[in-house]
Every structure is written in C-alpha cells, then in structure tokens.
Amino acid sequence: HAADAHRTDLMTITRFVLNEQSKYPESKGDFTILLNNIVLGCKFVCSAVNKAGLAKLIGLAGETNVQGEEQKKLDVLSNEVFVKALISSGRTCILVSEEDEEATFVSPPMRGKYCVVFDPLDGSSNIDCGVSIGTIFGIYTMKGSDPTIEDVLQPGKDMLAAGYCMYGSSCMLVLSTGNGVNGFTLDPSLGEFILTHSDIKIPKKGKIYSVNEGNAKNWDVSTAKYVDNCKYPKDGSLPKSLRYVGSMVADVHRTLLYGGVFLYPADKKSPNGKLRVLYEVFPMSFLMEQAGGQAFTGKQRALELVPKKIHERSPIFLGSYDDIEEIKEIYAAEG
C-alpha cells in the first residue's frame, strides 16, 4: 500500500542528497559529508534552542558555571559548533560566519574544496523570547588550487548549494543544490531530517507582504509606493496582509510556502539595508529563484551582485514572481 510505503520508506536528507549526487559520476561523496556536518550543527543548535528557556533553571546563559567561567551565549555557542563541525569534515577551505570579523582559512591538512558562508543563529532579537530563529548557509566551490578570499566573493548565482534551518514549532531544513528546493523536518525521535516538502514552488503571486514598517519614514519613494500599493491596491485587487516576525528565516520560510514578498529595503539611515549579502541575501535569493520566485536589490537581480567585502550589506526584495515583477516596475519608473 502506497501510504504504508511512505511511512516506512524514510527519505532522510542524507539519502536524498546521495541520490541527487549519484547523477554526477565524478561525485565521491564529499558534498554529502559536508552536508552531514552542517546537519549536525543544525541538530545541535535545535537542541540548544529548545532548552534555552530552561537556561535559568539549569544554570546556563549569563551565569558562571562550576569552573567559574561565564556561560556562552547561544549565538556564540552555535558559531563554535558550526566552525568545528565544518573544519572537522575535512571538506572545507574557507569559512565566513556572521559571528567572525575575519574569514577562517582551514589549515592545509584539514582542507577540502568547499567554501561555506553562514549565519549560525540569525534573528538575534528573537532568541530570548522563544520566537523562531534560524541558521542560513551557502556553499561555493574553490576556484583555483589555493584558497583566496576571492573564492567567497563570487556572485550568488555561482553558489553550489544554499539552505536554512528554522528552529520553530518544528525544526525544518530547506535545501537547494541547484535542482529545485526541498524541505526536511527533523523527527526528534529518530534524530533525522526526513523529506516532508518535496519540490517546493512559491505561489506565482501572494497575499502577504513582510517588512519592518517602523522604518517607513526613511524609505525611498519606490519602497514607499510599493508598500502603499500593498495596502491600497490601485488595480482593484484585495489589500495584502502584513506579517513580520523579525527573523529572516521565519519570514522567508512563510513567504516560500504561502507566497508574497519579504523586503528589507534601503533607508536613509542604512543606505544598503541591513541584511548581509553573503550569508543572508544570497542563500535566500538562491532558494527563491530555485522555487520559481525572484530576488531583486532595487537595482539588479540579487544573485548577480559581486560582493567586495565578506560582511557587505544589500537591500533585498524577494518572493513570488509576480509580486517582485511589480516592485521591479516601480523601481524602473521611479529610479
């Protein structure tokens, strides 16, 4: 019976990626090993996030432990776990983390061909109140034989893979290796991510917009005009609903599944917006395009940006194809 087969034939993320990679005869399992280490990091963070509310009870966070050392904050701890898991995979050469000022160059004996850019725990303002937060990552392949910073300053369209993990009401990992987008949910009893959302496609047009409207007084004309259209449509369509968690992973995840737009535009106070190109804008734009949506900076296709610095920022508008088309038209007209 098909339904039974579904419940007993578990498509884990490892099995899924192994299947995908088997299409490439030259593949030797390196990517699968790398991904398994990312998955390990995500499981660790998930378990830490789930216990975060108990921290006071069991004496974590901000308190001093028996050794007299101060306990690490969740974002710092998450970063350490990812860095160590990625280095120990033996498949990475350069790591760029939101938490670290400088890129990490892996020492030659542990070096592999992949560069990983990541935000280990995004949504910092939501950590202490139990609202969904996430990890975002992108993967590049080293260009030459010696790693240089140029290897991670490539346009987002050259990413080999991108994904995020959301620590929400369930723990979900959403991944693209350039072949569409698939979602895996952590089964806590198995400790495995199981394929639950195969071949995710974003609705062509959505009914939701997502933005921090508290910044409205500093927006440019085009952003203001678009958001005004969301509330007072000029074409007879219904107004859009507003949803804004303030965690990019949660806001993008909802946008991917329900459709609509997520924007973090430029404003007078932050002319490049807030979000970071390498490990926020690029991975999410990659996923959006792979799901049939679009990602735009206000000037160009987001994935064609060529970053000059590892922590560079860019305005971003991403989501349903038609909704982003509308934003592009406004920017083209208003400049």
The helix/strand/coil state of 241 is: strand
Spatial contact of 159 and 136, defined as CB atoms under 8 Å apart: no
Binding partner at 274 among Mg ion, ligand AHM, none, C-beta below 5 to 8 Å by kind: ligand AHM
Q: Return the number of the residue (264 or 282) whose C-beta is nearest ligand AHM.
A: 264
The one segment of 111-119, 150-158, 187-195, 315-323 that binds Mg ion by CB under 5 A: 111-119
Neighbours of 229 (CB within 10 A): 18
Task: Note whether 274 binds ligand AHM by CB under 6 A.
Answer: yes
151 binds, among Mg ion, ligand AHM, none (CB under 5 to 8 A by kind): none
Half-sphere exposure of 151 (CA within 13 A, CB side): 25
Nearest approach, Cβ of residue 126 and ligand AHM (Å): 8
Counts of helices then strands in the chain (DSSP H, E): 9, 13
Residue type, 208: I
Question: Per the structure block, which two tokens stand in for 196?
Answer: 């639950």
Min. distance of Cβ 194 from ligand AHM in angstroms? 26
Residue 217 has φ and ψ, to the nearest 5°, of -65, -20
What is d(CA 60, CA 71) in angstroms, rounded to the nearest whole number? 6
- Whichever of 114 and 118 has its CB closer to Mg ion, that residue is 118
Least separation, in Å, of the C-beta of 174 and ligand AHM? 15
The enclosing H or E element of 3 equals: helix 2-8
The residues, any chain, with a CB within 8 Å of residue 14's CB and separated by 6 or more, are 32, 35, 36, 39
Own/partner contacts of 332-335, CB < 8 Å, gap of 24 or more, are 334/220, 334/221, 334/222, 334/225, 335/222
Q: Looking only at residues 166 through 195 of this chain, which bind ligand AHM when binding is defined by CB under 6 A?
A: none
Question: To the nearest whole angstrom, how small is the minimum distance from the Cβ of residue 46 to Mg ion?
Answer: 17
Residue with tokens 């690490």: 72
Is 289 a residue that touches ligand AHM (CB under 6 A)?
no
Number of residues that bind Mg ion (CB under 5 A): 3
Task: Give the nearest distance from C-beta 120 to Mg ion in angstroms.
Answer: 9
- Check if the beta carbon of residue 76 is closer than 8 Å to that of residue 97: no
314 binds ligand AHM (CB under 6 A): no
Query: Does the protein bind Mg ion through residue 122 (CB under 5 A)?
Result: yes
Question: Which of 124, 196, 218, 272: binder of ligand AHM (CB under 6 A)?
Answer: 124
Kindly report the backbone phi and psi dihedral angles of residue 248, in degrees, each rounded to the nearest multiple of 5, phi listed first: -55, -40
Give the pair of three-digit tokens for residue 69.
């050392």
Stretch that binds ligand AHM, among 119-127, 176-184, 192-200, 290-298 (CB under 6 A): 119-127
Decide: is 246 part of the binding site for ligand AHM (CB under 6 A): yes
Contact stretch for Mg ion (CB under 5 A) within 59-67, 102-110, 119-127, 297-305: 119-127
- Interface with ligand AHM, residue 113, by CB under 6 A: no
Residue 119 touching Mg ion (CB under 5 A):
yes
307 alpha-carbon distance from chain centroid = 17
Q: Who contacts 102 (Cβ-Cβ below 8 Å, separation ≥6)?
A: none
Site for ligand AHM (CB under 6 A): how many residues? Answer: 12
Q: Which stretch binds ligand AHM (CB under 6 A): 20-28, 182-190, 245-253, 305-313?
A: 245-253
Please identify, using beta-carbon distances, which residue of 132 and 182 lies nearer to ligand AHM: 132
41, 123, 206, 265: residue in contact with ligand AHM (rule CB under 6 A): 123
Contacts with ligand AHM, 87-106, as mask; x by CB under 6 A: -----------x--------
User: How many beta carbons lie within 10 A of that of residue 45, not counting itself?
Assistant: 25
Strand partners, 241: 208
Applying CB under 6 A, the residues found at the interface with ligand AHM are 98, 122-125, 212, 246-248, 251, 264, 274
